Structure 1
Amino acid sequence: MSAGDPFERFAGVPGTGLVSRAVDAAVRVPSSVIRAHVDQLRRRNPEATPAQLLAILDSELLAVVQTTGGAVGGTAAIPAVGTAVAATLTAADVAAFFAAAAAYTLAVADVHGIEVDDVGRRRTLLLASLLGEDGPRAIESAGLSPTAWARVGLAAMPSTTIQRVNKVLAGRFVKKHLLRRSSLLLGRLVPFGVGAAIGVLGGRALGKGIVAQARAAFGEPPAQFPPRLRVVEGTSADAAPRLEAVADRPDLLGGPTALGGADRGGPGPGASER
C-alpha cells in the first residue's frame, strides 16, 4: 500500500490490498487525459449543454461497468474455465471498474469547471461515489455538509481534512464491501450462465449509484460551461488550497486531443499522474 493510504489500517481484511491498489491506480489518470476527453465530447456535440454532456458521460460509464461485469460472469460458465479463472479475472474487473468510476467523476468535475490533480482529493471523490448512499453520510460524519460537497469542499478543505475524510470513507467502504463479502462479486462467479446476468445487472446498478452520488456531490449542472479552475494545494498541510485559472480550452470545433487524435477513445486506466 502507498504512503498515506487510508486503507492501511485494514490491511488484515481480505480483499483490502486489491481495493487499495485499484483505487491508487484509478486516481492517477492525468488531468490532461480527462480534459481531452471532455473537450472531445464537446467537439462531437457542439450544441450540447453541460447537463446534456453529463448525460453522455453517464451513458459511457454505464456501458463500461455493465460490460466488464458481464464478461467476468460469463467466463465462469465456460467449461474447463470455471470459477477459479473467473476469480482471477475479477481482480482486473475491479481495477477496470474503479478506473472507469474515477475517470467519470473527474470528468463530471471538469464539466463543473473544477480540475483536481491531488491524489488525496481524488480519493475522496472516488470513494464517496463508490459508497453510493453511504457516501454523503460518511461525508457528513466527517463534519462536512453533504449537499454539493465536492463543488465546495474539494476546493476549500486543507490536506489534513482530506486525510481525515478519506479515513472515514475507507472505513465505510471496508465495512460495506469487504467485511460483509460482496454478494455481487460472488454472484458473478456463479456457474452455468447465471453469473453473466448478475454481472451485467449488478454492474449497471453500481454505475447508477456512482452517477447519483456524482450529482449529489456537485449539485445541479451549470447553465453554461464555466472557466476551468485548478485546485492548487496550500503552502502547508493545514492551509486551504486556492483556485488557479487553467489556460483556455482548445478550439472545440477541431484539432487533436491529448490522446493523439480528434476521435480516439476516452480516458483509460493505468496512466500515471503528471
Structure 2
Amino acid sequence: MTTEAPSEPEPSAGRVLALLDKAIAAQSLLVHKNIARARQRNPDATPEQVIRALERMYVSALTGTGAAVGGTAAAPGVGTGVALAMSAGEVFSSLELSALYALSVAEVHGVPIDEIERRRTIVLGVMLGGSGSATINKAAGRTGAHWGRQVVAKVPAETLKQINKVLGRNFVTKYGTKQGIIVLGRVAPFGIGAAIGGGANAAMASLAVRSARRAFGPAPATWPQPHQHS
C-alpha cells in the first residue's frame, strides 16, 4: 500500500512571487529591529561593523533552517511526506530571512525602502546575484557598480516596476529549479539530508551576501539620517 502524495513538481510562478511579496511585506516591518539587534553588543558600532553582523546573523539563521529540516527525515517515525511538507514551509522562511537581510543592508546604506517596488528590486536583485545586477543595469539604461544605490535610490518607481517584471521571471526560473533540488536533497534518509539542507542554504546565503556587497558597495562612514515616517 502506497501513501505517496500527488506530485507537484513546481509551484506556479504566481504562487512563488506571491510568497515573495508576502515575505517582503512581513519583513519590512522588522528591519529596524533587526538592525538594532545587530548593534546590541556594540551600540557604537560603525555601519560597516553592523553590516558584517547582519551578514553573520543571516548566514547562521539560513544555514540553521536548512539543517533542521534536512534532519527531520532521519528522525525515527518521520516519513518522507512530513519532511517534504516541512521543506515547503521552509521555502517561506528562507524567503523571509533573505528579504530581511537585503532590506536591512539597504537601510544601513540609507537607500529608501519605503516603496514596494524599491523593496522588490532590492530583494530580487540580491537573491539573483550577478544575473540580477546585469538585468537591473541593462533595464535602467545604466552601467557601473553598486546598482543598489545608483538604480534603486534614483530610478522612478514606474521604471522599477518594469525591471521587477523581468527579475520576477528570472527569480521563478532560478528559484524553482534550485529549490526542487534542495527539497529532494533534504529528504535523503539517515541524516544525509541535514548536511545537504544546511549546505545548500549556506551556499544560497553566501551568494546573497556577495551580491549585496556588490550592489551597495562600501558601507557609509557614518550613519545616515533616519527617514521620516509619516
Q: Distance in 2 between matches of 1:89 and 1:135?
A: 29
Paired residues of 1:106 and 1:115 also in contact (CA < 8 A): no
Q: Distance in 2 between matches of 1:127 and 1:111?
A: 18
Aligned to 1:159: 157
Aligned to 1:195: 193
Query: Superposition pairs for residues 89-168 of structure 1, below 5 Å?
Result: 89-142=86-139, 143-145=141-143, 147-168=145-166
- 2:43 paired residue among 41, 46, 50: 46
Q: Distance in 2 between matches of 1:172 and 1:51?
A: 30
- What are structure 2's unaligned runs of at least 5 residues? 1-8
Q: Distance in 2 between matches of 1:18 and 1:119?
A: 18
Quote how far apart the aligned CAs of 1:41 are. Answer: 3.3
Q: What are the superposed Cα offsets for residues 164-222 of structure 1, whole Å, 9 maximum, x if unpaired? A: 11111112122223257632232112222111101111111111111111111111101
Quote how far apart the aligned CAs of 1:97 are. Answer: 0.8
Give me the CA root mean square deviation: 2.3
Q: Distance in 1 between matches of 2:51 and 2:179?
A: 32
| TM-score normalised by structure 1 residue count | 0.73
Quote how far apart the aligned CAs of 1:141 are. Answer: 3.5
- Aligned length, in residue pairs: 220
Classify the secondary structure of the residue corresponding to 1:44: coil
Larger helix proportion of the pair:
2
Q: Distance in 2 between matches of 1:174 and 1:34?
A: 25
| TM-score normalised by structure 2 residue count | 0.86
Quote how far apart the aligned CAs of 1:17 are. Answer: 4.5
1:17/1:74 CA distance change after superposition, 3 Å: farther
Paired residues of 2:185 and 2:197 also in contact (CA < 8 A): yes
Quote how far apart the aligned CAs of 1:39 are. Answer: 3.3
Between the two proteins, what is the percent identity of the paired residues?
Answer: 38
Aligned to 1:19: 16
Quote how far apart the aligned CAs of 1:146 are. Answer: 5.6
Aligned to 1:235: none
Quote how far apart the aligned CAs of 1:43 are. Answer: 4.7
Q: What are the superposed Cα offsets for residues 126-160 of structure 1, whole Å, 9 maximum, x if unpaired? A: 11111123221222342343621111212222222
